[in-house]
Structure 1
Amino acid sequence: MLVSVIIPCYNQANYLKETVQSVLKSSYEPIELIIVNDGSTDNSLKIAEDLAAQFPEVFVLSQKNSGVAVARNHGIQQARGEYILPLDGDDLISDQYIEKAVRVLQENPSVKVVYAKAVKFDSSGTKAWNLKAFSRYALARDNMIYVAALFRKKDWEACGGFSEDMTMGREDWEFWIKMLKNEGEVVQLPFVGFFYRLTPGSKRKRTGTSQKKRERIAYLNRKHADFFYRELSGPLRIQRTWSKPYNKLLKILRLLK
């Protein structure tokens, strides 16, 4: 089965080649790599086109700067693979990751998402990344699945893809809620398969402000009220881990329906 690796890229010229090389070293075949240049102002597009000229597995799409959710959806729409792996243009995967993940998806139709253990890294070395175990209750409070997980293209289609109006960050969290809130198992592979690069100007840091957090929680509550009321007995709160006990207290006090 063909796996389509979707790499949105915005001004990641310094890292893009290393990211693509990590995929090309994969023990799994066949693979296609679709780089989506999201209006980069550096030489990312030139590097992507050079990689496409060098490797027949690599294809390039280009769009005006529209954000990572639009870029991912654009790439997945064009993908020919049954299985999808989104991978940001500065991160890396291990050579065994795709092979092991595909095997799980092939052998277990009830599994919707497969990912692996992960580490964070920068020029100073690697740092442990302790990902929580998946449950729908845990997913209601926080995201434990990074975006570079494998899933079936049909499940992306069924849930409507990445929400392109979610511009305040953590769009991968909302995507997993959409895909998994009602059904589907999740498997974490027991080895480090993903390497998340820490960079000074990362989107995660830009969207980590208190204002962005409030916007994000309001957005999630608007779109997935049924999910949060089921798992947390009410809406997601700013202090996310206290959401369920706080909602239960309000119900006791008859302040929340």
Structure 2
Amino acid sequence: MPETRTADSLNRSLQSYDESYFLTLYGGDILRPELGEQLQGWMQDLENGDGGIVILPRPLFATRSPEMIQDCAVLWRTSAVMTGTCPGFAGRNFLPFDSLVLFDQYVRIRHAYRWKMVSTDAYMPARTYPEQPIRNPELEASELMPIIQRSRTLIEGQREALCSPVISVVICTYNNADYLPWAVRSVMAQTGPVWELLIIDDGSTDATPAYLETLQGDPRIRCYRQHQNEGKAACLNAALKRARGKWLLELDADDWLSHESLIRLSEAALNSKGSGVIYADHYEWNERRSGELVFRGVKKPPEALSRQWLLEEGPALAPRMFRVGLLIKHNGWSTLMPQEGRLYEDIELLARLATEETMRYLPLPLYHRRIRSGSMTRMHEHQYKPWSLSIMDPDK
């Protein structure tokens, strides 16, 4: 199985494939001759309601959960994979981690098919984590797999509760079709409290509008489109006017939430009656040119924020959640500078609030931030220093 662009490679191979089953393996796996005969026998025992077989080496059979299909040989029923509302394996816009493509597909179809688990001495996996330095199996299990497991289905029947959500999650997006679906999946994986998701499309010209059409069946999600590109601050203010929640949480279209983000932030809000802003730690990922994500660690901001420190450092403060009433009181995000609020709108708002409002720090990583060369922040890094100086000393 290909190590990079896994889903794309598998989907291309399956387009012209007409057999009833296919087997996924990893480079270096050792297969003994008797495995072919065993596969024939296992396939004969499969019934129409079976989606496939997870094949384990015999020493792992007693300790492995049926759901832990990574680094195993898997026999898939072709029709189970290639039919349904989203046929084939999920591409990187829906899942940016190649190592979890098979697990994601298994989760997507397990509600409709049974799975069998077998063991054999004729199969010996050679794939090991140390040979793949960009992988972090512990983080995959604790942070990424729960998002996949919880975000598969749209939730109906919540219309009454949605009249008063606790948190309004806001995504402002412009030509982020390659990233937005994974961000949305991370919101849909949240288990509480009652939330709504507002997506403001700032005039995208890529596949974003088509993707947003697919979200119309979920009553928790509302999508709006700006007639022309107006910038991040204008989009956030448009969301603020429509937010029904008591709190507003920003989520960049190329980032994603920890699976426990909203419940932890809501608990902090409940215990922070006087706070207007709540912020926390975040996981940081570096995006390679190939699109692979490399974990860079957990980033921790100071426990107390000052206006001067914010303007001097220009930190990436994520997550950041605001009391909606406070945002209205301070007239939301400024669209005056620089470039009509297209850059540094987050720092400008936080610097204003730091002098008047109470901000609470939550020492937990509740957000995943992606560092990529094509982001607005990276492309305009050279403009930050002059801008911050103009804010700190407007007379100069």
* TM-score band w.r.t. shorter chain: 0.7 to 0.9
Query: Structure 1 residues 176 and 212, CA, compared in 2 at 3 Å: closer, same or farther?
Result: closer
Letter in 2 for 1:176: L
Q: Tell me which stretches of 4 or more aligned residues in structure 1 moved more than 6 Å.
A: none
Q: 127-136 vs 5-14, which deviates more?
A: 127-136
Select which of 173, 177, 181 maps to 2:347: 173
Select which of 281, 284, 297 maps to 1:128: 297
Deviation, structure 1 residue 84: 0.5
User: Which residue of structure 2 aligns with residue 255 of structure 1?
Assistant: none
User: Which residue of structure 2 aligns with residue 25 of structure 1?
Assistant: 189
User: Which residue of structure 2 aligns with residue 196 of structure 1?
Assistant: 369
Larger radius of gyration: 2
d(CA) in 1 for partners of 2:332, 2:392: 15
Written as runs of structure 1 = structure 2, the 5 A alignment for 1:1-257 is 1-51=165-215, 53-63=216-226, 64-121=228-285, 122=287, 123-133=292-302, 134-136=304-306, 137-144=308-315, 146=317, 148-167=319-338, 169-187=343-361, 189-209=362-382, 211-222=383-394
TM-score (norm 2): 0.52
Q: 54-63 vs 129-138, which deviates more?
A: 129-138
What SS class does the counterpart of residue 109 from structure 1 fall into?
coil
Deviation, structure 1 residue 119: 1.9
Q: 22-31 vs 4-13, which deviates more?
A: 22-31
Letter in 1 for 2:381: G
Gaps of 5+ in 2: 1-164
Contact 1:4 1:83 in 2 (8 A): yes
d(CA) in 1 for partners of 2:318, 2:366: 13
Letter in 1 for 2:325: K
Gaps of 5+ in 1: 226-234, 236-257
Deviation digits for residues 27-59 of structure 1 (CA, Å, limit 9, x no counterpart): 2131111110001110111111212x2322111
d(CA) in 2 for partners of 1:174, 1:203: 16
What SS class does the counterpart of residue 214 from structure 2 fall into?
helix
d(CA) in 1 for partners of 2:242, 2:347: 23
Deviation, structure 1 residue 100: 1.1
Q: 125-134 vs 37-46, which deviates more?
A: 125-134
TM-score (norm 1): 0.79
Contact 2:203 2:229 in 1 (8 A): yes
Contact 1:156 1:179 in 2 (8 A): no
Equivalenced residue count is 221
Letter in 1 for 2:363: P
Contact 1:38 1:66 in 2 (8 A): yes
Contact 2:280 2:364 in 1 (8 A): yes
Letter in 1 for 2:385: K
Query: Structure 1 residues 77 and 25, CA, compared in 2 at 3 Å: closer, same or farther?
Result: same
Query: Structure 1 residues 131 and 144, CA, compared in 2 at 3 Å: closer, same or farther?
Result: farther
Contact 1:3 1:30 in 2 (8 A): yes
Deviation digits for residues 202-233 of structure 1 (CA, Å, limit 9, x no counterpart): 01112211x453134214533xx9xxxxxxxx
Deviation, structure 1 residue 139: 3.0
Deviation digits for residues 92-127 of structure 1 (CA, Å, limit 9, x no counterpart): 011211111111112222222222211221324111
Query: Structure 1 residues 49 and 167, CA, compared in 2 at 3 Å: closer, same or farther?
Result: farther
Letter in 2 for 1:132: P
Contact 2:175 2:204 in 1 (8 A): yes
Identity %: 25
Q: Which has the higher helix share?
A: 1
What SS class does the counterpart of residue 163 from structure 1 fall into?
coil
Contact 2:177 2:206 in 1 (8 A): yes
Deviation, structure 1 residue 144: 4.1
d(CA) in 2 for partners of 1:207, 1:146: 17
